[in-house]
Amino acid sequence: MISAARLTRRFGARLAVDAMTFDVARGEIVALLGPNGAGKTTTMRMLAGLIEPTSGSVTIDGVPLTRATGNAVRRRIGFLTEAPGLWDRLTVRENLRVYAGIYALGQPDRAIDRALDIFSLGDRSATRAAELSKGMRQKVALVRALLHDPAVLLLDEPTSGLDPEVTRSVRQLLEERREAGCAILVSTHNLDEAERLADRVAVLQTRLLALDPPATLRGRLTRGRVVVRIDGDLKSYLAVARSFDEQAVIEGTTIVVSLPQAERDTPEVVRALVNAGARIVEVRSEMPDLEDVYLRLVRDDGGRPEAPR
């Protein structure tokens, strides 16, 4: 549904996106993660046909995106920019009517009413955009992206400015769209959102650093920790722990062992310590989360990631 092949964009001497290649299948959600300046928004804008790549190609729903096909392809896309981009002097309904005209919808008012119902915005349809809160403007922008029932959704920070309840509603909406066969690409700084929502996560730092399901990323790129609390002299058992991990350390009243398969190997570590005479008080496995993966990837690539939200 969404295909990028060696997608590259330069702004003068600055390389913003470097030979990006990936696909988003029908019925799949892919999240784009990366620090500011990583190329997320530029990638989104190229996929939406708003800016041309310096080189490389984009295909949407089987149709190559070119100058000749641009208008037709854009009608297949629902695009949410990071800034809602509403006309302040127009009402909510008037804003949506403009886009209904762009999409050449046959029954625009019916489509608008259906879209407004997504977030129960019917009572705000006559309100001017300038009078809306940030969260309400974001809701209207999301409704606008869904107005023409697109096969492809490109969403740049879709939950920005939304409270937790509405964020949950957006997540449910995207899951429903996925079940309906929509291909969805979401740019986000919210690591928890990416882990909960996405089938695969793409980590960007100008180029594509990784593209995998969250669980695969965690397992492939980081090691889990086994933390064992022992009643007694920890130094007596450190050698046993280091037979599993040469870098095992004492932290307070615990021995910490790093393992590539922590959940699988924890019983073996515990058995060895017990056989050595250790009186074990507590054992816990600490598996890496997506934040660990994200930070390691961008740091290994020389980036300076902002603190994820």
Strands 183-187 and 28-33: parallel
| Domain boundary pick from 109, 127, 146 | 146
Q: In this structure, are 170 and 216 located in the same domain?
A: yes
Q: Is residue 82 part of a domain?
A: no
Q: Which domain CATH number covers 232?
A: 3.30.70.3400
The structural domain count of the chain equals 3
Q: In this structure, are 71 and 163 located in the same domain?
A: yes
Helix, strand, coil shares of the chain as percentages rounded to 5?
Answer: 40, 30, 35
Q: Which residues contact 304 (CB under 8 A, 6 or more apart)?
A: 35, 298
Q: Is residue 83 part of a domain?
A: no
In the DSSP assignment, the letter for residue 305 is P
Residue matched to tokens 């403007």: 137
Strands 2-11 and 152-156: unpaired
Q: What is the pLDDT of residues 49-97, one digit of tens each?
A: 999 999 999 999 999 999 999 989 998 999 998 888 899 999 999 999 9
Q: Is residue 81 part of a domain?
A: no
A 10 A CB-CB count for 276 gives 13
- Return the half-sphere exposure (C-beta side, CA atoms, 13 A cut-off) of residue 28: 16
Give the confidence band of 306 by pLDDT, cuts at 50, 70, 90.
very low
Is residue 253 within 8 A of residue 234, CB to CB? The reply is yes
Q: Say what percent of the chain tops pLDDT 90.
A: 66
Is residue 280 within 8 A of residue 228, CB to CB? The reply is yes
Q: Answer yes or no: pTM beyond 0.85.
A: no
Q: What is the pLDDT of residues 84-114, one digit of tens each?
A: 889 999 999 999 999 999 888 989 999 999 9
Q: What's the length of the chain?
A: 309
